[in-house]
A and B are shown apart, each in its own frame.
Chain A
């Protein structure tokens, strides 16, 4: 099964609202990363959070990590139409380092 499981699978909100996506995983990790994929394009790295970190910010993005619950969340504040994309979490396991295991992704739609 997938290491990362995103929730929800699809999310549709109005422009200006905040969007929250969740990710759960099963095994111990070195870090967790979030990526964005626009339709027909490759994935773009957004943010990396290490296993000893609990929260990280980058612009309008806020990521939290709870290693006790093996879960992470990605918050996008003040959403824009350009944020419409699929968002993936990916985990780098302690064993099998350097390779990432991706979840199925959350399809985010921002309505103008």
Chain B
């Protein structure tokens, strides 16, 4: 298996633009997680899904952030409109029930 796949790996955009981050989890994993990592705040859980259904989105910072999982092999995290304070590394992770999480390589987002 190729592991968790994220795209793009790097994204540079201007303030106000829409940003879409993509994730393909490991096949057969029931859970998918979106995290954000910054030096100031560390690793924060934004939202997670179980069998494509959002379970907990309490970590989503504000309405500018939205996430979808239309099927078991694809999820998106969208920021609209983006702001400089959204600059961070965004990780997607997946896991089977009851086991450890497998992280993707991350998307480094820079909002100018």
Contacts and interface: CB of A to CB of B under 8 A. Distances in A.
Contacts of B93: 42-43
Interface string B76-112: 0000000000000001010101011111111000000
Contacts, number: 46
Interface stretch (B14-22, B43-51, B61-69): B43-51
Interface in A71-90: 88
Interface residues of B, number: 22
Interface string A73-112: 0000000000000001000000010111111110000000
> Chain A: interface residue count, which band?
10 to 19
A88 B105 contact: no
- Which secondary structure dominates chain B's binding surface? strand
B77 to A, nearest CB: 15
B43 A96 contact: no
Interface of B: 4, 31, 33, 42-43, 45, 48, 50, 55-56, 91, 93, 95, 97, 99-106
29 contacts: A2-B42, A33-B100, A42-B4, A42-B91, A42-B93, A42-B103, A42-B105, A42-B106, A43-B43, A43-B93, A43-B103, A44-B103, A45-B100, A45-B102, A48-B99, A48-B100, A88-B43, A96-B56, A98-B48, A98-B50, A98-B55, A98-B95, A99-B45, A100-B45, A100-B101, A101-B45, A102-B42, A102-B45, A105-B43
